[in-house]
Amino acid sequence: MGSSGRVTIGKPLDQGIGGTGVAPSPKEREGDKGIGGTGVIGSIQRFGSIFVNDLRIAYPQDVIVRIDGKEAAADDLKLGQVVRVVAEQRGKGLTTRRIDVTSEVVGRIDGVSLGRFTVLGQTVSFSGLSWAGMKWRIGDHVAVSGLRRPDGVIVASLVEKRPGDAMKVAGPIVETSDGSLMIGGLKLARVDRTLIGRRVVLEGQLVKNVFEVSEGVTERALLGPNVKKLSVEAYVERSDGGLRLGSGLEVVGGRTAGLPAHGSVRAFITTGVGSGGQLQVESIHLDRREGGPANGGGSAPGERNDKGGMNQPGSGGFGNPQGFDTPGGLGGVPDGLGTPGLGTPGLGGPGLGGTGGFDAPGGLGVPGSVPGLGAPGLPGRIGVPGGLPGLGGFGGPGGVPKR
């Protein structure tokens, strides 16, 4: 097995960087030529191009889109989907010709409890979603987008009903004390034991409570051989060897001083890619958004609410155009949450707010302003200078204090 991460799982794998076990079309083969640069794995935060890991990535009208290996269109992209792209630097921005969506698990719900359900032996927490009260039932066939914690729980950012009976699962393969290979609570068959400890994307069928794998690939292989830098959103915790990502992607190095002594936190990790494919951590910054994706910006593809639109390169991040190798992580802004904003003018609206970021003023977990003394003001916009508080009356609320 080489550094590309391609292995035989169940069946021989098809070539290309696309979805699991699906041969690329001639158009895709042509589009893959020369792809390289920055790999990005994370949830869609907002639209106007796509924003992933605080990076704005533009794409053309004819962008290639695959959802769990099946051909789709840009209009099928949704907030909360976890995507994998390889972006090229074009001018001061990032652009991609292809977007792959990978669900963490696809299958039928076999158990439901308060704020959680199980699918193919995977525990899914959906309590952080704004529509958490939706009535999921045993037997519903669903696709779950989200991030896996080191304890194996998938924190959902999007749950959708999915027609058909396809079964897929992504995650790290673990060997149990009896020698069985598992992902979460799902026992696997027909899997190469050299994959123990690695993150894979598998497709198959459940036979007598065992998942018989028909097709699959390692996540690292899906990025292709030309990626030189990687931005990944993941739950991360300290481990004896440094860092451990809940997703199962293996990384080396990285400072752990800012991480809690126990438990995991959601973060954006930037890595370099060594000559042998090793992912070397360059920076980590915490994702202040808990639960689902940010609500700022557009809510659907095609809402062209910034200069890059869907056809022009977007900025590399909030702050530094490159989006890498600057203090504060991606985008060169402290905590990676956006540029300072002052709130919008208003009578008693938030004024002098710190670090705007998503859902400014203040964002989630970011300092807001001192309430004004006038009537309630208008909500701030992302990074837009605003005015000072008015006089009289009751002021608007400040932001949530930063810790």
Only one residue has tokens 């704020």, namely 115
3-state secondary structure labels for all residues of 161-191: ECCCCCEEEEEEEEECCCCCEEECCEEEECC
- Tokens (6 digits) for 146: 């989200």
Q: What pLDDT, in 10s, does the model give residues 338-394?
A: 333 333 333 333 433 333 333 333 333 334 434 444 444 444 433 334 444 444 444
Stated as kind and residue range, the H or E segment containing 336 is: none
- Domain map (residue ranges) of the chain: 105-219, 339-403
- Tokens (6 digits) for 37: 């640069």
Distance (Å, rounded) from C-alpha 385 to C-alpha 393? Answer: 23
- Tokens (6 digits) for 244: 């451990």
**Mean pLDDT, contiguous 10-residue spans, the chain (403 residues):** 46 33 40 64 94 95 96 97 95 93 98 95 91 81 98 96 96 96 98 93 96 93 88 92 89 81 91 88 80 42 40 39 36 35 37 36 38 42 40 44 43
Only one residue has tokens 């991606």, namely 330
Output the pLDDT for position 255. Answer: 77
Report the DSSP pairing between strands 181-183 and 186-189.
Answer: antiparallel
Output the pLDDT for position 10. Answer: 52
In sequence order, the 6+-apart residues with CB closer than 8 A to the CB of 191 are: 9, 10, 173, 181, 200, 202, 213, 216
Domain 105-219: assigned CATH number: 2.40.50
* Cβ–Cβ < 8 Å for 47, 301: yes
Output the pLDDT for position 80. Answer: 96
Output the pLDDT for position 111. Answer: 96
Phi, psi of 232, rounded to the nearest 5 degrees: -135, 135
In sequence order, the 6+-apart residues with CB closer than 8 A to the CB of 62 are: none
Q: What pLDDT, in 10s, does the model give residues 182-214?
A: 999 999 999 999 999 999 999 999 999 999 999
Report the DSSP pairing between strands 210-218 and 70-72.
Answer: unpaired
Output the pLDDT for position 333. Answer: 33
